[in-house]
Amino acid sequence: MLNSFSDDIIELPSGIKLRVRCAGNGPVVLLLHGYPQTHVCWHKVAPLLVDAGFSVVLSDLRGYGDSDKPPSDENHLPYSKRAMAADQAELMRHLGHETYFVAGHDRGARVAHRLARDFPDAVAAVSFLDIVPTEHMYAHTEQTFATGYYHWFFLIQPAPLPERLIGNEPGFYLTSKLSAWSKGNDSAFESEAVAEYIRCFDAASIHATCEDYRAGASVDLQHDAHDQGTLLKMPVQALWGQKGLVAKLYNVPEVWQGYAENVVGEAMPCGHFLPEEAPEQTANALVDFFKSSDSSKAEGS
């Protein structure tokens, strides 16, 4: 799986260690995964981007996979999207890429959103997969959202309540999320990928990922409030699963138009996990979007 990609643990100047995979030549694309997964969620899409002429960087977010899981604090700052985005910006500079494209799914899309806001000169164009902004979702919470996204309210409960409950049978919890959010499309997930997700979903990762959500309900909202009314200037793509809750609750492009100047959007024929449920369609949409953007800005120079 991803055998053509390099595989390294890279210690950055800040001291954080990230698991990183790279392959390809051409304009640079950083791919960021979501919960409860790792970079492996891109194993079907990433080779297609390489074949299309892109240089692809895959990274486990801090708190996930084989990347570091630093201690948190009472304000959850180490797992703020600002801290997680800063890791990725530092990684790309370390790899020699000053400008690049970004695509993020789920939590990775929220990191990508913060990355685009905090490092606008580095992000040439950004694609958000199956999200609308965090503050919009919390501000428009109602019964359907709270029922479908109950984990947003479960994972933010004070430690160690969710950690203990999930840790009792982490494999069951993780696979139940894959099944529920894909609307029962279990065949989309290759057994090798699922085994990797479960391997990485240990006690340290369970706690760190809860901290990710706790930050999302606290310090991230403070950072988002500071940016209210400031539109992203780089090209923005929104992709979403037409069978998922995001499609049911939101006019996705219309919501993103409140956060960015130049937005395009497209529904994919799947549930939440676009990179695994609809990999060819997702890859094609990313290729078309990034090629329509100014590739000279994503050459890593």
39's CB contacts (< 8 A; 6+ apart) are 19, 21, 31, 33, 58, 59, 60, 65
The answer to whether the beta carbons of residues 32 and 131 sit under 8 Å apart is: no
pTM metric for this prediction: 0.97
Q: Render 208-256 in DSSP notation, one character per residue.
A: HHHHHHHHHTTHHHHHHHHTTTPPB-S-EEEEEETTSHHHHH--HHHHH
What's the pLDDT at 163?
98
Tens-digit pLDDT profile for the chain (301 aa)? 999 999 999 999 999 999 999 999 999 999 999 999 999 999 999 999 999 999 999 999 999 999 999 999 999 999 999 999 999 999 999 999 999 999 999 999 999 999 999 999 999 999 999 999 999 999 999 999 999 999 999 999 999 999 999 999 999 999 999 999 999 999 999 999 999 999 999 999 999 999 999 999 999 999 999 999 999 999 999 999 999 999 999 999 999 999 999 999 999 999 999 999 999 999 999 999 999 997 667 765 4
Listed in sequence order, the residues at least 6 apart from 176 whose beta carbon sits closer than 8 Å to its beta carbon are none
Q: Sheet containing 236-241: which strands, arranged edge to edge?
A: 8-11, 17-23, 55-59, 28-32, 100-105, 123-129, 236-241, 263-268
What's residue 296's pLDDT?
65
Positions marked active-site: 106, 272
Using N-to-C axis directions, what is the helix angle for 170-181 and 191-200, rounded to 10°?
130
Report the half-sphere exposure of 182 (CA within 13 A, side-chain side): 18
Q: What angle do CA 271, 131, 158 make, to 5 degrees?
A: 100
Question: DSSP letter at 91?
Answer: H
